[in-house]
């Protein structure tokens, strides 16, 4: 199969509410959707989850466009018409890093490849679950008001979300966690600091043990693996790594050294769904529970994440929330919460397509690229 055309669609989608974390505030999702068109007329889709600034990682939307255009697409010329997912991944290996750009392009190609075989992504993974329980990630209210936070959390709990993740940072941590735990003593609750703490905060973070949390996600800098080992020793609350995990090898090292006892698997952070599945398999074999992270995906990225999260090692609810948690209008048919979770798409490939008029409406820039 020959890929004749790659289209990059850059969209700006207003969020239903600002999403504030320890690394910044997003009000509008600046997202790139990659479309791959094959010579037999099949369209495949992938989402690039970069933000407009390098706050979560060094990648951002402008670098992703550059890397896809000038490096990843030319690298694919090496494999000619062979779009086998493993061949695509190894061709892209010539580029260091840039996992979100790689994920976007490789997922669009994987989608074409699967659609040609009429196989769903979940089936390709060997996933059997048809419904995935949803958690929700709650940002820091821009007002920094605990009562506003409680109202937001109450809305999510009423909607049926199965676990709550609170974004924290120094100065916004014990009080909101205590308030949510006080009001909902039994709800599965976890924190996410996005690297905002220091090793010297270990005693402070250990003081959260009284709240019976599921986990603390990525409290320290992503390179501070040993710091997370020390934190794991200081806290009864399990430590879960996100930003530190970029590959099977980094997951294996973090588990081996005792820096993490749970892993957040985000395909976009590890360079694609093939590697994400391999990290899942490693964790399953080591008895390490995993859950699927999110990066405010549209229906395109969400559909693929749900297929992954249908694998058996995903034993904790992930950040796979309904479309309405993020957007008034999603690019695809909206994912709607059913019984506290979302259905795993069953159609060929990722199982969803953008709605052409919505895609056109939200597009602020687009470009057509011809593979060599």
Binding stretches for ligand NPG (CB under 6 A) = 21, 51, 56, 137, 192, 194, 242, 293-297, 319, 321
| Sheet with 43-48: strands ordered across | 43-48, 24-38, 3-21, 363-369
* DSSP per-residue codes, 298-354: -HHHHHHHHHHHTSTTB-S-BS---GGGT-SS-SSSPP--BTTEEEPP-SSBTS---
C-alpha 16/C-alpha 37 separation (Å) is 32
**φ/ψ (deg, to 5) at 208:** -80, -10
Paired tokens of 89: 């991944």
Catalytic residue among 102, 266, 277, 328: 266
Question: In the complex with ligand NPG, which residue's Cβ is closer, 83 or 250?
Answer: 250
- The reply to whether 266 belongs to the active site is yes
Catalytic residue among 102, 165, 167, 277: 167
Question: In the complex with ligand NPG, which residue's Cβ is closer, 63 or 123?
Answer: 63
The CB-of-223 to ligand NPG minimum distance in angstroms stands at: 17
Look up tokens 């000619």; give the residue. 80
Distances (CA, A) of 163 to 194, 287, 300: 18, 21, 23
Nearest to ligand NPG by Cβ — which residue?
294
The CB-of-35 to ligand NPG minimum distance in angstroms stands at: 22
- The reply to whether 328 belongs to the active site is no
As beta bridge partners, residue 138 has 166
Question: In the complex with ligand NPG, which residue's Cβ is closer, 88 or 241?
Answer: 241
The CB-of-45 to ligand NPG minimum distance in angstroms stands at: 18
Question: In the complex with ligand NPG, which residue's Cβ is closer, 25 or 90?
Answer: 25
Hey, which residues are catalytic here?
167, 266
């Amino acid at each position: 199969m020959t890929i004749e055309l790659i289209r990059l669609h850059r969209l700006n989608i207003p969020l239903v509410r600002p999403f504030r974390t320890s690394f910044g505030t997003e009000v509008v999702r600046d997202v790139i959707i990659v479309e791959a068109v094959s010579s037999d007329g099949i369209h495949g889709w992938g989402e690039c989850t970069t933000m407009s600034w390098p706050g979560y990682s060094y990648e951002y939307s402008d670098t992703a466009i550059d890397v896809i255009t000038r490096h990843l697409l030319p690298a694919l010329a090496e494999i000619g018409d062979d779009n086998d997912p493993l061949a695509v991944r190894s061709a892209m290996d010539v580029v260091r890093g840039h996992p979100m750009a790689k994920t976007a392009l490789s997922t669009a190609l994987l989608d074409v490849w699967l659609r040609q075989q009429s196989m769903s992504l979940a089936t390709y993974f060997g996933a059997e679950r048809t419904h995935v329980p949803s958690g929700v990630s709650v940002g820091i209210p821009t007002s920094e008001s605990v009562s506003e936070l409680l109202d937001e959390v109450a809305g999510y709990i009423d909607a049926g979300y199965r676990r709550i993740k609170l974004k924290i940072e120094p100065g916004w941590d014990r009080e909101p966690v205590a308030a949510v735990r006080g009001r909902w003593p039994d709800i599965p609750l976890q924190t996410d600091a996005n690297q905002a703490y220091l090793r010297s905060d270990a005693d402070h973070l250990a003081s959260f043990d009284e709240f019976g949390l599921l986990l603390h996600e990525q409290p320290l800098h992503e390179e501070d693996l040993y710091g997370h080992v020390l934190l794991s020793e200081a806290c009864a609350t399990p430590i879960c790594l996100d930003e530190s995990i970029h590959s099977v090898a980094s997951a294996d090292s973090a588990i081996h050294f005792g820096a993490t006892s749970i892993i957040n698997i985000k395909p976009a952070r590890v360079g694609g769904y093939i590697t994400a599945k391999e990290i899942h398999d490693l964790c399953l074999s080591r008895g390490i529970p995993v859950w699927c992270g999110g990066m405010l995906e549209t229906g395109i990225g969400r559909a693929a994440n749900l297929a992954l999260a249908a694998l058996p090692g995903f034993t904790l609810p992930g950040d796979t929330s309904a479309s309405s948690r993020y957007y008034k209008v999603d690019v695809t048919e909206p994912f709607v919460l059913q019984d506290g979770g979302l259905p795993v798409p069953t159609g060929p490939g990722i199982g969803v397509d953008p709605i052409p008029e919505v895609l056109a409406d939200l597009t602020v820039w687009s470009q057509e690229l011809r593979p060599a």
